[in-house]
Amino acid sequence: MNGVHDMGGMHGMGPIQYEKNEPVFHARWEGRVLALTRAIGAWRKWNIDAGRYQIEQIPAADYLRMSYYEKWFTRLVELMVKHGLVTHAEVESGKRAKGSPKATPALTPAMVAPLVSNWKSATGRDVRLAPSFKVGQRVRARNINPPGHTRLPRYARGKLGTIDRDHGVYVFPDTNAQFLGEKPQHVYSVLFAARELWGAEAAPRDSVYLDLWDDYLEPA
């Protein structure tokens, strides 16, 4: 969807603040948010693309003022409410609503270590599908403006690129986020010249590689 989260190429966002020896977490609560996200994810009520889509629905003013893990926490609360695991009132009070059903946690202590060590965010699929494009082929990113989730950034839409490599078959995020099916398809690393994306002021030798699904591309 089009929103403030799609910041690629935007001006006026300020410099990137590099932090030398940056810690994994800047505060203990950030680690707890990550742990809660994984623990609640064991219920399998949603998928990674639905989670990304939920963050994109945070109002623009809130999105810009929130830190990374504040967005994660907001996303988690909204997904839990949406899927009936908790209510907003229960979150605010920290207490279970009277008469609400009691459920057995989906994540047990014995499951924690394997979950952490085997965590995978990529959603590859071992299925045989013919690729729509070949390495070296010129392609154009489709100019689309979907109302739902997409991994095709706005700055690349309508731009010309070249297939650099084929990563194999992966779940299509646009449909997966809406629970409309996985629609597996090939994902390619596509090379875009910086001047194709940003215009004549970009450095002539710079380029950007984007991982794009079949449905995001068309022959040039």
Phi, psi of 184 (to 5 degrees): -60, 145
**Closest by CA position to 133, among listed 183, 185, 208:** 185
State how far the Cα of 42 lies from the Cα of 106, in Å rounded to an integer: 6
Q: Provide CB contacts within 8 A for 217, sequence distance 6+.
A: 132, 133, 139, 140, 141, 142, 188, 190
Distance between CA atoms of 32 and 212, rounded to whole angstroms? 33
According to CATH, the topology of domain 138-219 is SH3 type barrels. (2.30.30)
Q: Tell me the per-residue pLDDT of 177-219, one tens digit each, with 9 for 90 and over.
A: 999 999 999 999 999 999 999 999 999 999 999 999 999 999 9
Closest CA to 56 of 134, 3, 8: 3
Strand positions, DSSP E, 17-109: none
> What is the full DSSP assignment across 87-154?
-HHHHHHSSPPTTPPP---S--HHHHHHHHHT-----B-------SS-TT-EEEE-----SS--SS-G
Quick: pLDDT tens for 65-98.
999 999 999 999 999 999 999 999 999 999 999 8
Tally Cβ neighbours within 10 Å of residue 54: 20
Give 147-187 pLDDT, tens digit per residue.
Answer: 999 999 999 999 999 999 999 999 999 999 999 999 999 99
CA geometry: angle 82, 85, 86, nearest 5 deg: 85
Q: Phi and psi dihedrals of 192, rounded to 5?
A: -120, 130
* pTM score above 0.85: yes
Out of 3.40.50.800, 3.40.50.170, 1.10.472.20, 3.40.50.620, the CATH code matching 28-117 is 1.10.472.20
Domain residue limits, the chain:
28-117, 138-219
CA 8 to chain centroid, in Å, comes to 14
Give residue 121's pLDDT band: very low, low, confident or very high (50, 70, 90): low
